[in-house]
Amino acid sequence: MLTCKQTFLLGMESNYRQLSWRERVGVRMHLAFCSACGRFRRQMEFIRNAARRFSRDQVDADEQTRLSAEALERIARELDRYE
Amino acid sequence: MSKRPAKSQELSPPEDWLAQHGDALFRYAFLRLRDRAQAEDLVQETLVAALQARHGFGGRSTERTWLIGILKNKLVDYLRKGAREQPFGGLDGNDGEIDALFDAKGRWKTPPSDWGNPTSTLEQKQFWKVFADCFAALPSRHARVFAMCEFDGLDSAEVCKVFGITATNVWVMLHRARLGLRQCLESRWFGREAGRK
């Protein structure tokens, strides 16, 4: 039986290499019995969805993420030169 | 309220662009670069390029989408150039972060908690503030890879090309970024909720 750590590492490696048949079966077996690892997978899935939504909705939770007054002025000056 | 460009997808006067789109362009660049000065420079370059290319605007997209498209190209060029000048190098050596999650027998030291109903979490405004903070706290090379993969949906082969690193390194960095977010969300959002119950 694989440990949680081995399952975790194989899950990561499966992104960039083909797992062997044995490894795949091991991961499945482990996940069938281990609720902690199942919750970990759901957490990772949650993060992926949240990230997608974060960029799609252009979430602006951080008020600081805007151009500073100085930057606005500098860019406006620069654009003037091209008009 | 900001003026929207006419429905016929014509460009608004260039002197309005900075006021109408400046912050959105900045936010787009800042989230992916995580450096204010660099993000400001890219906004400027984008608007200058747009000014020079405005007569070629075909009206197939909105003004905002058109500008973001120009910015996206500038951003990829910028990252690619940066990767050439200052290669990512190897991975940062030890897997201490991963080792720290498990005990000697390979079991979770702190078993992952149940994060409950994802949909209702994503509806909460406060959550996004925490998410933004957690993203801001990631090391910037992990965050840049995460942004390209998860915000822009680029596949690992494309990300490899931009940063000049191997697919394995892309995945390892992506994974580290996810783990960093997980840990931060667990302590700053989900842990707090559990404490309240």
B161-166: long-range contacts at Cβ-Cβ below 8 A with a sequence spacing of 24 or more?
B161/B80, B162/B76, B162/B79, B162/B80, B162/B83, B163/B79, B163/B80, B163/B83, B163/B88, B164/B80, B164/B83, B164/B84, B164/B87, B164/B88, B165/B83, B165/B87, B165/B88
Contact: A6, B132; criterion CB under 8 Å:
no
The residue with greater pLDDT, B6 or B175, is B175
pTM for the full predicted model:
0.80
CA distance B167 to B158: 9
Contact: A83, B14; criterion CB under 8 Å:
yes
Model pLDDT for residues B23-32, shown as the tens digit of each residue: 999 989 998 8
CB atoms within 10 A of CB A74: 15
Model pLDDT for residues B38-91, shown as the tens digit of each residue: 999 999 999 999 999 888 888 888 899 999 999 999 998 998 887 776 665 545
Model pLDDT for residues A9-63, shown as the tens digit of each residue: 999 888 888 999 999 999 999 999 999 999 999 999 999 999 988 887 766 555 6
Closest residue on chain A to B143 (Cα): A51
Phi and psi of B35, rounded to 5°? -145, 115
CB B46 within 8 A of CB B25: yes
Closest residue on chain B to A81 (Cα): B48
Q: Which residues on A lie below 8 Å from B132 (Cβ)?
A: 54, 59, 61-62, 65
Residue B108: helix, strand or coil by DSSP? strand
Contact: B131, A16; criterion CB under 8 Å:
no
The CA distance from B128 to the nearest CA of chain A, in Å, is: 6
Which residues, at least 6 apart from B90, have a Cβ–Cβ distance to it below 8 Å?
A: B169
Q: Which residues on B lie below 8 Å from A19 (Cβ)?
A: none
Task: Quote ipTM for the complex.
Answer: 0.83
Closest residue on chain B to A16 (Cα): B168
